[in-house]
Chain A
Amino acid sequence: MAETTNVTKTPASEVPPAEHTRSGYFYRPNVDILEQADELTVLADVPGTAADGIDIRFEDGMLSIHAKVPPRNQDVDFIVREYGVGDFYREFRVNETIDAAKISAELADGVLTLHLPKVEAVKPRKIAVKA
């Protein structure tokens, strides 16, 4: 007989939606998330943000990225307007395999790169076989 395993999942309705503490628009940055053997990398497009405008928090398994974009060209007469200028915000639920203390980030040319290293216990290890 095959052994049965029960996998429980929190229903989406039970997860309280995060609430913002300030009003106004946030734009949702496009991201790439890639997983290597020893870390997760998040690349986020946050054009218009300077290095001091990045606010990254990791709390209760929630990683939040807030990129502040200083307002520009507010009083101009737009002929074509395809995007709005405003802060970027996005949250991710990250599981416990991430070593929160070692999260690092860098910003270059409007792209934010976040490195989320995995905890030692889940990194793949090569086990040497003794002769």
Chain B
Amino acid sequence: MVLRSMNPQYPMQQLRREMDRLWSSVVGEAVEPPWTGLVRGRPAVNVWETSEAVFAELEVPGLKNDELDLSVVGDQLSIRVERPDAEQQGVTYHRRERPVGAFTRVLRLPAPVSSDAVEAELKNGVLTVKLPKAEAARPRKIEVQSK
């Protein structure tokens, strides 16, 4: 379960947010602070949930549909991303920062999902995966009967 309390990154993220705030108030620097890389996964992922679904969002700039491989098994979502190495011959590289190669992320979801109804959308280099929760995991309103 990716419960907040059990997520080992959570205290780090809290610290990071706090440091970000301090950094920007003191230095006035607007670029990302250098330690951000420490907590960033590859590809970086954000996960949030509503009462009906769990959402996962990834930044995958430059990727086409066929370079992404998504699968849901039980309560695990695995995402494999392959960014081809487009290194050109006969050119001089002055900067080489954009990651290339294959990356896999496996996320354990906080609730069982109905794998048939999973939807994924790729737009402007951002992949959003919507994983509707299984019927049993959705909140149910219980009518109170008065006698």
Do these two chains interact? Answer: yes
- Given A45-B61, A49-B124, A80 and B91 touching (CB < 8 A)? no
Q: A73-B48, A73-B57 are in contact. Are A27 and B32 (CB under 8 A)?
A: yes
Chain A residue contacts of B95, Cβ below 8 A: 31-33
Q: Are A79 and B30 touching (Cβ within 8 A)?
A: no
**Cα(A110)–Cα(B64), bound, Å:** 11
Residue contact B124 to A45, C-beta cutoff 8 Å:
no
Distance, CA A119 to CA B24, complexed state (A): 39
Interface size class of B (residues with CB under 8 A): 35 or more
A111 near B: Cβ within 8 Å?
yes
Chain A interfacial positions (CB closer than 8 Å to B): 20, 23-28, 30-36, 40, 43, 45-50, 73, 76-83, 89-90, 108-111
Q: Name 28 A/B residue pairs within 8 A (Cβ), A-sorted.
A: A23-B30, A25-B20, A25-B24, A25-B30, A26-B31, A27-B32, A30-B98, A30-B99, A31-B95, A33-B93, A35-B91, A35-B94, A45-B61, A45-B62, A45-B98, A46-B61, A47-B125, A48-B59, A49-B125, A73-B46, A73-B57, A76-B50, A77-B48, A77-B49, A78-B46, A81-B13, A82-B41, A110-B124
